[in-house]
Structure 1
């Protein structure tokens, strides 16, 4: 049975969360713009001071020159040695407020509760795991992406990452609304609570991590291009150095790839339970494997000396493109055993 009132409450929660995320995107963008502009001014002043003061005859920095990391840290310059052991990812001029970024993070947390709440209500309305169609896949993936980003931002300064995560999450929720499916029961092949919860939960969690990885990859490519041209201006100055961004990109994919591997394995097991074979070259199975191959190629190219980090990052973004094609084209236009998008075509 389906509870229409709970389903309606779920829809309202998702729509309200989209509106809150739009406000969070504005706040994060303002934070990045303000921080970048202040950082750019700070670097210009520092460069002029270096020219005026000069470098000591022995090649060492003059004693009255303040270390950049301590002068521009997020905390007060009197912070003890922990700041020296683990400096902030982005050095901020002391006079720059983080107000806009903090507001953006607070709004993101509010939206996270809204999306997670809407997802739970959707599941309660149909009395099953909300993972049976494209719309439900979208809201669960968005929930995971928001939880990961919001939690990560509590431990480290990741306010600069806000626009790069919130925008694609809004796109995912928007796509889910475009291909919205009324709350209903599952088709027989999917009516297996254990494998539905294991296989599709792994898929949504790995996709959420891939989204964050792609966001970091785009940030890295933009910052790296600016560094190569020596034109780090505007909001780009508010991002961490390119090398740090690339390292974070790689780190997120290191976590996401094993999850996608288990997605592939559990899908094969579920296929044997539902259809009596582990692999049948169904379009969805093929594309799941293609995505696995592309991300495996990224990790391999990242560890290969003949590849630059930029070229390897392009491979990672190709993997995200394959995920998008798998979610849209394969679900909507290609007929197969996995044609359960729930969208009338």
Structure 2
């Protein structure tokens, strides 16, 4: 294949992955809707059973007429819910495969098999591949398929916006042509995927905790939010994911990054905006982990702090690259 063909194949693969992720997001939304139908049907069943018991306890001696229950409708809704969940996950796996193909062919399209992160479009493509990959790993290890709607929606938004900063494939600028950059970005991308999953968990934790506080009666709980793990479990899982990602980000931002900068520009640290915001992000996540582990911060305060840290990460990824001039301006 020619370089142009590789480039076109990569573009088609990424565009197809975006469409597939959109369909996966719709499937996850359908799962949420069917979950509400399941809980509503089961709630009606419980009400019918209570009415039956009350009627049977009467002293008239007459045979009570039994109100029909909704077992069939509940079973049908449960089947549709599980089918939507399986379709969503299958489409997510397909999208991940398409993204991997897009990343590899983008590398080949440059005329040399290089790391595909020479600009914002490539950063976005590889970053979302890492996010989806991390999500699929977590589905396998921790059964977090219920995060699919948020993760796929985030991926579609980032991939869609990346089209606005698309540039044709080409060789890397000299500053980026370093194996230390490969090490630096791989560690950063893995930690980015974990941070994104941790942020999604923090959002769902806040929603679930609010719902638990407002609806103490179990019989009144219906809808998708009640099929999620408890708020306490999501809080613990979020902490574990952040604890996994933070050492990787530390290595990427404070060790591999400065080493690459020294080889590229002759200095390890120069107060470049990208470097400063990477340090701000590191401090924010360090504060979250320190407060969570030592000061006993759990629940709402910890979740908000985790989201603030993720906001600094996203600003460093988008805002600094696009709107602030510095040594990393080649990423535009």
The aligned counterpart of 1:211 is 196
Aligned match for 1:241, one of 230, 233, 251: 230
CA apart distance, 1:129:
0.7
Aligned match for 1:96, one of 47, 58, 78: 78
For the structure 1 residues 158 and 177, does the alpha-carbon distance in structure 2 shift closer, same or farther, using more than 3 Å as the test? same
Aligned to 1:32, what secondary structure does the other structure show?
helix
The aligned counterpart of 1:183 is 169
The aligned counterpart of 1:224 is 209
CA apart distance, 1:7:
0.8
Aligned residues: CA RMSD: 2.4
- Counterpart check, 1:334 vs 2:320: no
The aligned counterpart of 1:137 is 123
Gaps of 5+ in 1: 54-91
**Does the CA contact (< 8 Å) of 1:102 and 1:159 recur in 2?**
no
| 1:261-305 superposed Cα distances (whole Å, 9 cap, x missing partner) | 011110011111112211111111000000000011111121244
Over 6 Å off, 4+ runs: 47-53, 92-95
The aligned counterpart of 1:301 is 291
TM-score with structure 2 setting the length: 0.84
Q: 1 CA distance for matches of 2:296 and 2:237?
A: 21
Q: 1 CA distance for matches of 2:8 and 2:175?
A: 27
CA apart distance, 1:232:
4.2
Find the structure with the greater CA-based Rg: 2
The aligned counterpart of 2:97 is 113
**Does the CA contact (< 8 Å) of 1:10 and 1:119 recur in 2?**
yes
- Counterpart check, 1:254 vs 2:247: no
Matches of residues 190-201 of structure 1 in structure 2 within 5 Å?
190-192=176-178, 194-201=179-186
Aligned to 1:96, what secondary structure does the other structure show?
helix
**Does the CA contact (< 8 Å) of 1:119 and 1:140 recur in 2?**
yes
Gaps of 5+ in 2: 54-73
For the structure 1 residues 182 and 232, does the alpha-carbon distance in structure 2 shift closer, same or farther, using more than 3 Å as the test? farther
The aligned counterpart of 1:11 is 11
**Does the CA contact (< 8 Å) of 1:37 and 1:234 recur in 2?**
yes
**Does the CA contact (< 8 Å) of 1:36 and 1:234 recur in 2?**
yes
Q: 2 CA distance for matches of 1:292 and 1:328?
A: 16
Q: 1 CA distance for matches of 2:292 and 2:51?
A: 39
Q: 1 CA distance for matches of 2:244 and 2:157?
A: 23
**Does the CA contact (< 8 Å) of 1:206 and 1:256 recur in 2?**
yes
**Does the CA contact (< 8 Å) of 2:185 and 2:252 recur in 1?**
yes
**Does the CA contact (< 8 Å) of 2:130 and 2:190 recur in 1?**
yes
Q: 1 CA distance for matches of 2:116 and 2:50?
A: 59
Greater fraction helix: 2
| 1:57-86 superposed Cα distances (whole Å, 9 cap, x missing partner) | xxxxxxxxxxxxxxxxxxxxxxxxxxxxxx
**Does the CA contact (< 8 Å) of 1:27 and 1:100 recur in 2?**
yes
